[in-house]
Amino acid sequence: MAIGYPNGKKSKKEWQKPQSTKKQIEFGNRGMSLEDDLNDTNTYYLAQERAVIHKKPTPVQIVQVDYPKRSSAMIKEAYFKRPSTTDYNGVYNGKYLDFEAKETKNKTAFPLSNFHPHQIEHMTQVTKQEGIAFVITSFSGLGEVYLTMFDAFFPFWERMLQGGRKSITLDEIRQHSDQIPYGLNPRLDFLSIIDQKCF
């Protein structure tokens, strides 16, 4: 369709329908972070009396606080008291659960630099006490989330310490892990995988 102008000349450019500025939203990733998804899932588990799982607070030492108004306070300076262990812990079916949740935009591998030695040591100790330890990894660029039991995850950490790869390839994750499908309630039903692996 050509557009006419007051000078009587036709525009040489064809009119095109403007493209929508709304972003396509995939079911697998609706703008929520992995932490949001897990927090929603754990809230659902608690409401259904299926499990009691919480995100661990990060221990901080507040050093300086400003009070610009009587009704508000602003933390100006704070330090981590000690290294945190893992992100989540709780109780399910009479067993202690402990897991770390990590997210990456990388579409081919998961960098092990996202983990810290004290977290690996903590999960090692949990498994020695017959607790259930695992890692949940999200490939946000792919909209895929995986649960890897700690016993399957640890060899990749050891490989890195021995001078090997500093990441776990997506193919390795897929081979040694279970994909957690996205749902509505719960958002990420990781306990269904724990049921298959541990009970």
Residue 65 within a domain: no
Question: Looking at the 3D structure of the chain, how many domains does it have?
Answer: 1
What is the predicted pLDDT for the residue at 14?
53
pLDDT, position 57: 73
Q: 24 lies in a domain? A: no
- Please tell me whether 195 is known to bind a ligand: no
Q: Is the pLDDT of residue 111 over 70?
A: yes
pLDDT at 30: 44
With a cut of 90, say whether residue 141 has pLDDT above it: yes
Q: Is the pLDDT of residue 25 over 50?
A: no
Query: Is 144 within a domain?
Result: yes
Is 72 inside any structural domain?
Answer: no
155 cis-preceded (ω within 30 degrees of 0): no
The model carries a pTM of 0.76
| 130 in a labelled binding site | no
Asked, for residue 45, whether it belongs to a domain, the answer is yes
pLDDT of residue 51: 98
19 is in an annotated binding site: no
Pairing of strands 60-69, 52-55: unpaired
Domain that holds residue 95: 34-56+84-198
Share the mean pLDDT of the chain.
85
Confidence (pLDDT) at 73: 78
**Better-predicted residue by pLDDT, 81 or 168:** 168
48 marked among binding-site residues: no
Residue 18 forms part of a structural domain? no
Q: Is 178 domain-assigned?
A: yes
Residue 64: inside a domain: no
Burial 1-32 (b: 16+ CB within 10 A, else e): eeeeeeeeeeeeeeeeeeeeeeeeeeeebeee
Q: Which of 42-56, 68-82, 117-131, 168-182 has the lowest mean pLDDT?
A: 68-82
